[in-house]
């Protein structure tokens, strides 16, 4: 089949953001700080959970610690490359590096959807089934859930990445984005089969919608359970345990949803860059702050760890 001939292009050019020299410098400084702060914040959460005997035994914090590892990987999949291109204009990326970035970035995005679903399930079980919670969400079950999230996430994009990489690319070789994505790559293919674009769209949409509605169903169940509780304190405590997760879900799915609505063809490409940058770089910076600022257990554990290390 002609569409699966060996590629004639050995590299691509990421056009990145259409800004002047001053704009590039501002982006470079801003997102260097964002990247460093994101790494520090998430590594602090990982350190606190791993060093605190109490938190490291609770499913909620095992999930949170793994979620922080995910955020470190997620932001590292795109931002260092973007910073390099801002420092050295040209945006040349090899064929293999482009597809590795495409596969890793979208796989990690899938893992994030699955982790947010797993964390919603954990909150549902903790609030709606408190007596059975410790039996259902044992440490072994929690680690199994974490492992499945990582494995399934990286399995989902094997087919799209493999199929697109086997296409023949005739040029031009410019991708109007700061990352390698399916839309940009398919636009450069000589004879892309019509089903492939639809397949990629359905794969992404299905993953987003299935996990979103699972989270939504979990929270509907939680709200009904809290409404039945006679104690006001119990209801407030239950809401506090889910409010941080709800804020993170809103950040992630809200930004992803805007990619599908409200854009004309004229401004769609630039908006896609900004939205992708938000949920892949800014959200991982904000998520640790959301969890720590609204979680007394994390703050108290952080103080204990700092005292143990002799910092304070």
Task: Kindly report the average pLDDT of the chain as a whole number.
Answer: 86
- Domain boundaries in the chain? 12-309
- Model pLDDT for residues 86-145, shown as the tens digit of each residue: 998 888 999 999 999 999 999 999 999 999 999 999 999 988 888 899 999 998 999 999
Residue-level pLDDT at 238 = 59
Confidence of residue 190 (pLDDT cuts 50, 70, 90): confident
How many whole angstroms separate alpha carbon 84 and alpha carbon 96? 17
Q: Top-level CATH class of 12-309?
A: mainly alpha
Q: What percent of the chain has pLDDT over 90?
A: 49
Residue-level pLDDT at 245 = 85
Mean pLDDT of the region 62-90: 93
| pLDDT of 151 higher than 50 | yes
How many whole angstroms separate alpha carbon 179 and alpha carbon 15? 9
How many whole angstroms separate alpha carbon 82 and alpha carbon 140? 39
Residue-level pLDDT at 260 = 66
């Amino acid at each position: 089949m002609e569409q699966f001939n060996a590629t004639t292009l050995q590299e691509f050019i990421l056009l990145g953001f259409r800004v002047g020299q001053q704009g590039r410098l501002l982006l470079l400084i801003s997102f260097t700080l964002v990247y460093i702060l994101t790494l520090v914040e998430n590594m602090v959460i990982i350190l606190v959970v791993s060093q605190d005997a109490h938190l490291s035994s609770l499913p909620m914090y095992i999930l949170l610690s793994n979620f922080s590892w995910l955020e470190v990987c997620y932001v590292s999949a795109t931002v260092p490359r973007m910073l390099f291109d801002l420092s050295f204009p040209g945006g040349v990326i090899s064929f293999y590096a482009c597809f590795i970035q495409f596969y890793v970035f979208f796989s990690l995005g899938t893992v994030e959807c699955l982790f947010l679903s797993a964390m919603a399930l954990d909150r549902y079980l903790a609030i709606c089934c408190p007596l059975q919670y410790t039996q259902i969400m044992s440490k072994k079950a929690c680690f199994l859930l974490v492992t499945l999230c990582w494995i399934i996430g990286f399995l989902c994009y094997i087919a799209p990445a493999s199929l697109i990489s086997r296409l023949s690319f005739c040029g031009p070789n410019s991708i109007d984005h700061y990352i390698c994505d399916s839309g940009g790559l398919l636009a450069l293919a000589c004879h892309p089969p019509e089903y492939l674009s639809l397949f990629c769209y359905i794969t992404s949409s299905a993953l987003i919608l299935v996990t979103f509605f699972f989270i939504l169903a979990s929270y509907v169940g939680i709200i009904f359970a809290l409404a039945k509780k006679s104690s006001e304190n119990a209801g407030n405590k239950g809401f506090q345990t889910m409010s941080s997760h709800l804020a993170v879900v809103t950040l992630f799915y809200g930004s992803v949803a805007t990619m599908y609505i409200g854009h004309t063809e004229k401004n769609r490409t630039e908006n896609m860059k900004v939205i992708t940058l938000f949920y892949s770089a800014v959200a991982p910076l904000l998520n640790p702050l959301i969890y720590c600022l609204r979680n007394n257990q994390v703050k108290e554990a952080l103080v204990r760890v700092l005292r143990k290390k002799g910092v304070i």
